[in-house]
Structure 1
Amino acid sequence: MATSEEILSRVSEFDSERSDRRKAAAHQVGDLARRHADLVAESEAVQRELAEILAGCDDVISLTELAQFTDVPEGQLAHWRDGAKPGRGRKRRTGPRTPATKERVQRNTPSRHTPHEPVLQELPVAQGFVDEQVPAGVS
Protein backbone atom coordinates (compact mmCIF):
# COMPACT_ATOMS: atom_id res chain seq x y z
CA MET A 1 0.00 0.00 0.00
CA ALA A 2 1.21 3.53 -0.88
CA THR A 3 2.17 5.99 1.80
CA SER A 4 0.49 9.39 2.13
CA GLU A 5 3.51 11.08 0.58
CA GLU A 6 3.46 8.73 -2.42
CA ILE A 7 -0.25 9.33 -2.90
CA LEU A 8 0.24 13.12 -2.84
CA SER A 9 3.15 12.82 -5.24
CA ARG A 10 1.11 10.70 -7.67
CA VAL A 11 -1.86 13.07 -7.51
CA SER A 12 0.41 16.08 -8.08
CA GLU A 13 2.09 14.37 -11.03
CA PHE A 14 -1.27 13.40 -12.53
CA ASP A 15 -2.69 16.87 -11.96
CA SER A 16 0.35 18.61 -13.46
CA GLU A 17 0.13 16.51 -16.65
CA ARG A 18 -3.59 17.19 -16.85
CA SER A 19 -3.08 20.86 -16.07
CA ASP A 20 -0.45 21.19 -18.80
CA ARG A 21 -2.76 19.56 -21.33
CA ARG A 22 -5.66 21.80 -20.25
CA LYS A 23 -3.49 24.91 -20.60
CA ALA A 24 -2.30 23.83 -24.04
CA ALA A 25 -5.85 23.06 -25.21
CA ALA A 26 -7.18 26.39 -23.94
CA HIS A 27 -4.29 28.24 -25.59
CA GLN A 28 -4.82 26.51 -28.95
CA VAL A 29 -8.59 27.04 -28.89
CA GLY A 30 -8.15 30.71 -27.99
CA ASP A 31 -5.64 31.27 -30.81
CA LEU A 32 -7.81 29.49 -33.37
CA ALA A 33 -10.95 31.34 -32.25
CA ARG A 34 -9.20 34.71 -32.67
CA ARG A 35 -7.85 33.64 -36.06
CA HIS A 36 -11.34 32.50 -37.11
CA ALA A 37 -12.89 35.80 -36.03
CA ASP A 38 -10.25 37.72 -38.00
CA LEU A 39 -10.85 35.62 -41.11
CA VAL A 40 -14.63 36.05 -40.85
CA ALA A 41 -14.22 39.82 -40.55
CA GLU A 42 -11.86 39.88 -43.53
CA SER A 43 -14.23 37.72 -45.58
CA GLU A 44 -17.18 39.99 -44.75
CA ALA A 45 -15.16 43.03 -45.79
CA VAL A 46 -14.25 41.40 -49.12
CA GLN A 47 -17.90 40.46 -49.72
CA ARG A 48 -19.04 44.03 -48.99
CA GLU A 49 -16.43 45.37 -51.42
CA LEU A 50 -17.49 42.86 -54.08
CA ALA A 51 -21.14 43.81 -53.57
CA GLU A 52 -20.37 47.51 -53.95
CA ILE A 53 -18.29 47.00 -57.10
CA LEU A 54 -20.83 44.65 -58.68
CA ALA A 55 -23.72 47.00 -57.88
CA GLY A 56 -21.79 49.99 -59.22
CA CYS A 57 -20.68 48.49 -62.52
CA ASP A 58 -23.98 47.00 -63.70
CA ASP A 59 -24.47 49.92 -66.11
CA VAL A 60 -21.27 49.07 -68.02
CA ILE A 61 -20.97 45.28 -67.77
CA SER A 62 -23.51 42.54 -67.13
CA LEU A 63 -23.11 39.65 -64.75
CA THR A 64 -23.12 37.29 -67.73
CA GLU A 65 -20.14 39.09 -69.25
CA LEU A 66 -18.34 39.19 -65.91
CA ALA A 67 -18.91 35.47 -65.51
CA GLN A 68 -17.42 34.84 -68.97
CA PHE A 69 -14.37 36.99 -68.29
CA THR A 70 -13.68 35.87 -64.73
CA ASP A 71 -14.80 32.21 -64.78
CA VAL A 72 -16.86 32.97 -61.68
CA PRO A 73 -20.38 31.52 -61.99
CA GLU A 74 -23.04 34.13 -62.67
CA GLY A 75 -25.09 32.88 -59.71
CA GLN A 76 -22.17 33.52 -57.37
CA LEU A 77 -21.71 37.03 -58.76
CA ALA A 78 -25.43 37.70 -58.28
CA HIS A 79 -25.22 36.38 -54.72
CA TRP A 80 -22.35 38.74 -53.92
CA ARG A 81 -24.05 41.68 -55.61
CA ASP A 82 -27.32 41.08 -53.78
CA GLY A 83 -25.49 40.73 -50.48
CA ALA A 84 -25.35 44.52 -50.24
CA LYS A 85 -29.12 44.81 -50.43
CA PRO A 86 -31.08 44.50 -47.22
CA GLY A 87 -32.91 41.22 -46.90
CA ARG A 88 -36.60 41.16 -47.50
CA GLY A 89 -38.84 40.46 -44.58
CA ARG A 90 -41.08 37.46 -44.42
CA LYS A 91 -44.29 37.79 -46.43
CA ARG A 92 -47.28 38.48 -44.27
CA ARG A 93 -50.73 37.28 -45.14
CA THR A 94 -53.10 40.16 -45.64
CA GLY A 95 -56.33 38.27 -46.23
CA PRO A 96 -57.99 35.38 -44.50
CA ARG A 97 -56.44 31.98 -44.89
CA THR A 98 -58.06 29.86 -47.51
CA PRO A 99 -58.01 26.08 -47.58
CA ALA A 100 -55.61 24.43 -49.99
CA THR A 101 -58.47 22.51 -51.58
CA LYS A 102 -62.17 23.22 -51.72
CA GLU A 103 -63.01 19.73 -50.58
CA ARG A 104 -62.66 19.73 -46.83
CA VAL A 105 -63.96 17.31 -44.26
CA GLN A 106 -66.99 18.75 -42.50
CA ARG A 107 -67.00 18.54 -38.74
CA ASN A 108 -69.97 18.08 -36.45
CA THR A 109 -68.88 21.02 -34.35
CA PRO A 110 -70.39 24.45 -34.11
CA SER A 111 -69.02 27.24 -36.27
CA ARG A 112 -66.84 29.90 -34.72
CA HIS A 113 -69.37 32.54 -35.69
CA THR A 114 -72.49 30.80 -34.41
CA PRO A 115 -71.41 28.98 -31.27
CA HIS A 116 -74.88 27.97 -30.11
CA GLU A 117 -76.33 26.60 -33.34
CA PRO A 118 -75.74 22.95 -34.22
CA VAL A 119 -74.09 22.23 -37.54
CA LEU A 120 -76.26 20.23 -39.88
CA GLN A 121 -74.70 18.43 -42.74
CA GLU A 122 -76.25 16.56 -45.58
CA LEU A 123 -75.05 13.01 -45.94
CA PRO A 124 -74.80 11.49 -49.40
CA VAL A 125 -77.42 8.89 -50.23
CA ALA A 126 -76.17 5.66 -51.75
CA GLN A 127 -77.58 4.81 -55.17
CA GLY A 128 -80.43 2.34 -55.07
CA PHE A 129 -81.17 3.08 -51.42
CA VAL A 130 -84.84 3.07 -50.64
CA ASP A 131 -86.11 4.87 -47.58
CA GLU A 132 -88.13 2.18 -45.87
CA GLN A 133 -89.38 1.86 -42.36
CA VAL A 134 -87.29 -0.41 -40.21
CA PRO A 135 -89.32 -3.21 -38.60
CA ALA A 136 -89.65 -3.10 -34.83
CA GLY A 137 -86.78 -4.68 -32.94
CA VAL A 138 -84.29 -4.15 -35.75
CA SER A 139 -81.89 -1.30 -35.44
Structure 2
Amino acid sequence: MATSEEIELRVESEDSARSAKRSAAAKRIGELAERRSAIVSELNDVERELGEVLVDSSAVIEIGELARFTDVAAADLTRWLENQLKNQKGERAKRKKPTRGSGPNNASRQKPATVRTPSIEKPATPGESPGAQEAAAGTPAGVS
Protein backbone atom coordinates (compact mmCIF):
# COMPACT_ATOMS: atom_id res chain seq x y z
CA MET A 1 0.00 0.00 0.00
CA ALA A 2 1.22 3.56 -0.88
CA THR A 3 2.18 5.97 1.80
CA SER A 4 0.62 9.39 2.14
CA GLU A 5 3.70 11.01 0.61
CA GLU A 6 3.64 8.66 -2.41
CA ILE A 7 -0.07 9.36 -2.97
CA GLU A 8 0.58 13.09 -2.83
CA LEU A 9 3.44 12.84 -5.37
CA ARG A 10 1.33 10.72 -7.73
CA VAL A 11 -1.58 13.21 -7.58
CA GLU A 12 0.77 16.16 -8.16
CA SER A 13 2.35 14.37 -11.09
CA GLU A 14 -1.04 13.68 -12.66
CA ASP A 15 -2.26 17.20 -11.92
CA SER A 16 0.82 18.87 -13.37
CA ALA A 17 0.47 16.96 -16.63
CA ARG A 18 -3.25 17.83 -16.76
CA SER A 19 -2.54 21.46 -15.85
CA ALA A 20 0.02 21.72 -18.65
CA LYS A 21 -2.51 20.35 -21.16
CA ARG A 22 -5.22 22.71 -19.89
CA SER A 23 -2.89 25.68 -20.03
CA ALA A 24 -1.76 24.82 -23.57
CA ALA A 25 -5.39 24.39 -24.71
CA ALA A 26 -6.43 27.71 -23.16
CA LYS A 27 -3.48 29.56 -24.74
CA ARG A 28 -4.20 28.08 -28.18
CA ILE A 29 -7.91 28.92 -27.95
CA GLY A 30 -7.04 32.48 -26.90
CA GLU A 31 -4.60 32.89 -29.83
CA LEU A 32 -7.09 31.52 -32.36
CA ALA A 33 -9.94 33.65 -31.01
CA GLU A 34 -7.75 36.76 -31.23
CA ARG A 35 -6.74 35.86 -34.79
CA ARG A 36 -10.38 35.24 -35.73
CA SER A 37 -11.41 38.60 -34.29
CA ALA A 38 -8.77 40.37 -36.39
CA ILE A 39 -9.90 38.51 -39.54
CA VAL A 40 -13.58 39.31 -38.89
CA SER A 41 -12.71 42.97 -38.40
CA GLU A 42 -10.75 43.01 -41.66
CA LEU A 43 -13.58 41.20 -43.46
CA ASN A 44 -16.09 43.77 -42.18
CA ASP A 45 -13.85 46.57 -43.48
CA VAL A 46 -13.58 44.91 -46.92
CA GLU A 47 -17.35 44.33 -47.12
CA ARG A 48 -18.03 47.96 -46.11
CA GLU A 49 -15.62 49.15 -48.81
CA LEU A 50 -17.25 46.83 -51.35
CA GLY A 51 -20.61 48.33 -50.44
CA GLU A 52 -19.30 51.87 -50.83
CA VAL A 53 -17.89 51.12 -54.29
CA LEU A 54 -21.16 49.42 -55.29
CA VAL A 55 -23.16 52.46 -54.19
CA ASP A 56 -20.80 54.84 -56.00
CA SER A 57 -20.82 52.79 -59.20
CA SER A 58 -24.53 51.92 -59.27
CA ALA A 59 -25.23 54.78 -61.68
CA VAL A 60 -22.89 53.36 -64.32
CA ILE A 61 -23.02 49.58 -63.91
CA GLU A 62 -25.67 47.15 -62.75
CA ILE A 63 -25.30 44.22 -60.37
CA GLY A 64 -25.92 41.71 -63.19
CA GLU A 65 -23.14 43.18 -65.29
CA LEU A 66 -20.75 43.21 -62.36
CA ALA A 67 -21.57 39.57 -61.64
CA ARG A 68 -20.84 38.62 -65.26
CA PHE A 69 -17.62 40.61 -65.45
CA THR A 70 -16.21 39.60 -62.06
CA ASP A 71 -17.59 36.08 -61.55
CA VAL A 72 -18.83 37.24 -58.14
CA ALA A 73 -22.31 36.00 -57.27
CA ALA A 74 -25.01 38.62 -57.82
CA ALA A 75 -26.48 37.63 -54.44
CA ASP A 76 -23.22 38.61 -52.71
CA LEU A 77 -23.00 41.90 -54.60
CA THR A 78 -26.62 42.67 -53.74
CA ARG A 79 -26.07 41.84 -50.07
CA TRP A 80 -23.04 44.14 -49.85
CA LEU A 81 -24.92 46.93 -51.60
CA GLU A 82 -28.01 46.58 -49.40
CA ASN A 83 -25.92 46.45 -46.21
CA GLN A 84 -24.16 49.65 -47.21
CA LEU A 85 -27.44 51.40 -48.05
CA LYS A 86 -28.92 50.23 -44.74
CA ASN A 87 -25.87 51.49 -42.84
CA GLN A 88 -26.01 54.85 -44.61
CA LYS A 89 -29.70 55.16 -43.80
CA GLY A 90 -29.01 54.30 -40.16
CA GLU A 91 -26.23 56.87 -39.98
CA ARG A 92 -28.49 59.57 -41.41
CA ALA A 93 -31.20 58.71 -38.90
CA LYS A 94 -28.71 58.95 -36.03
CA ARG A 95 -27.40 62.31 -37.20
CA LYS A 96 -30.76 63.93 -37.82
CA LYS A 97 -33.13 63.38 -34.93
CA PRO A 98 -36.60 64.81 -35.48
CA THR A 99 -37.72 67.40 -32.99
CA ARG A 100 -40.85 66.81 -31.02
CA GLY A 101 -43.87 68.10 -32.81
CA SER A 102 -42.40 67.81 -36.28
CA GLY A 103 -42.74 65.19 -38.94
CA PRO A 104 -45.56 63.42 -40.70
CA ASN A 105 -46.64 61.31 -37.72
CA ASN A 106 -47.30 64.39 -35.65
CA ALA A 107 -49.71 65.86 -38.21
CA SER A 108 -52.45 63.46 -37.18
CA ARG A 109 -52.09 64.49 -33.54
CA GLN A 110 -52.29 68.23 -34.11
CA LYS A 111 -55.62 69.96 -33.75
CA PRO A 112 -56.88 71.42 -37.00
CA ALA A 113 -56.58 75.16 -37.28
CA THR A 114 -59.81 76.95 -36.56
CA VAL A 115 -60.94 79.41 -39.14
CA ARG A 116 -62.24 82.65 -37.78
CA THR A 117 -64.92 84.37 -39.68
CA PRO A 118 -64.75 88.14 -39.56
CA SER A 119 -67.45 89.61 -37.43
CA ILE A 120 -69.18 92.85 -38.03
CA GLU A 121 -68.56 95.18 -35.17
CA LYS A 122 -71.60 96.84 -33.80
CA PRO A 123 -71.25 100.20 -32.22
CA ALA A 124 -70.95 100.29 -28.47
CA THR A 125 -74.09 101.08 -26.67
CA PRO A 126 -73.94 103.65 -23.95
CA GLY A 127 -72.68 102.09 -20.71
CA GLU A 128 -71.17 99.07 -22.48
CA SER A 129 -67.42 98.62 -22.06
CA PRO A 130 -65.13 97.90 -25.06
CA GLY A 131 -64.43 94.43 -23.59
CA ALA A 132 -68.15 93.65 -23.55
CA GLN A 133 -68.44 94.85 -27.13
CA GLU A 134 -65.54 92.57 -28.20
CA ALA A 135 -67.04 89.64 -26.30
CA ALA A 136 -70.30 90.16 -28.14
CA ALA A 137 -68.42 90.31 -31.44
CA GLY A 138 -66.66 87.00 -30.62
CA THR A 139 -63.09 88.29 -30.41
CA PRO A 140 -60.92 88.22 -27.32
CA ALA A 141 -60.17 91.50 -25.57
CA GLY A 142 -57.15 93.32 -26.93
CA VAL A 143 -57.27 91.54 -30.32
CA SER A 144 -58.53 93.50 -33.26
| TM-score normalised by the chain length of structure 2 | 0.58
- Structure 1 unaligned segments of length 5 or more: list them: 89-139
| Match of residue 37 from structure 2 | 37
- Taking only the aligned residue pairs, the percentage that are identical comes to 45
State the AA in 2 paired with 1:41: S
State the shift of 1:85 in Å.
Answer: 2.2
Cα separation, 1, equivalents of 2:26 and 2:79:
37
- Residues 31-54 of structure 1: per-residue CA shift (max 9 Å, x gap): 011011001101100000000000
Cα separation, 1, equivalents of 2:65 and 2:86:
25
* 2:53 maps to 1:53: yes
State the AA in 2 paired with 1:18: R
State the shift of 1:59 in Å.
Answer: 0.9
| TM-score normalised by the chain length of structure 1 | 0.60
| Match of residue 109 from structure 2 | none
Cα separation, 2, equivalents of 1:41 and 1:53:
19
- Residues 44-94 of structure 1: per-residue CA shift (max 9 Å, x gap): 000000000001001111111111100112121111111112279xxxxxx
- Structure 2 unaligned segments of length 5 or more: list them: 90-144
Rg larger in 1 or in 2? 2
More helix by share: 2
| Match of residue 105 from structure 1 | none
State the AA in 1 paired with 2:23: K
State the shift of 1:5 in Å.
Answer: 1.2
* 2:108 maps to 1:82: no
Cα separation, 2, equivalents of 1:86 and 1:59:
18
Q: How many residues align?
A: 89
- CA-atom RMSD in angstroms: 1.7
Q: Given that residues 55 and 85 in structure 2 are in contact (C-alpha distance below 8 angstroms), is that contact kept between their aligned partners in structure 1? A: no
